[in-house]
Amino acid sequence: MNEKYLIPKPPYNIKRIWSKICMVVSRQSLVMPSFRRRMLKLGGVKINGKCFIGSNVQFDGMFPNLIEIGSGCVITTGTCILSHFYNTSDRRFYAGKVVIGKNVFIGMNTLIVNAVNIGDGAIIGAGSIVNRDIPAGEIWGGNPARFIKKLHWRLLKSVNAKLLNSVFMLVTRFSGLQTLSHFSNDYIGVGALKLGSPIFHE
């Protein structure tokens, strides 16, 4: 869990208004994913490399700069990521960093409601509420999110690169991500996502 600190009431200044405008624009369904990433960056979210962020994904409007997203992530529609939280013990608001690693898949309508780290290659089921750290290479889901299983690695000797490229074509065509160009030995058994190096090459 990342460190949290007590926050005063944030000023409603021009910078915060601009950030909110960028967030509202990014949530629209007709916005291209590449333009959506650009608006989120302008709004303060730290996005490292290319990733897919669906429509109606909400980011914290007070402290978007505390949210960091790794390359190759897929964050689906309806997800909400908060970086400030209400502590019921002392009835005060705290803020903290939310770090999402590389190649993370977040199912639709997931809520991230604590200063957590989500490890590389993790998968979070739809409708989950994440309030604790999720290690790399694990599947979590539920309310609150709980460990389900580890991702098992296996060698895909008979996989055709062209076939996998066609599987990801719909995502890559509209998100600005490149299709698979090469393979190495170890891939997750549930698909073509490789934990070691992203399939979404820059």
User: Does residue 84 have an active-site annotation?
Assistant: yes
Instruction: Using pLDDT thresholds of 50, 70 and 90, give the confidence band for residue 200.
Output: very low
Of the listed 84, 152, 182, 201, which one is catalytic?
A: 84
CA dist 164 and 200 (Å) reads 12
Token pair for 40? 């989120």
pLDDT at 92: 84
Per DSSP, 88 falls in state T
Token pair for 94? 């705290």
**pLDDT tens-digit profile of 69-127?**
999 999 999 999 999 888 888 888 888 999 999 999 999 999 999 999 999 989 999 99
- Mention every residue, 6+ apart, whose C-beta is less than 8 A from residue 126: 76, 107, 108, 109, 110, 141
**pLDDT tens-digit profile of 123-174?**
999 999 999 999 998 999 999 999 998 886 443 333 333 444 444 454 445 4
Per DSSP, 49 falls in state S
CA dist 48 and 61 (Å) reads 20
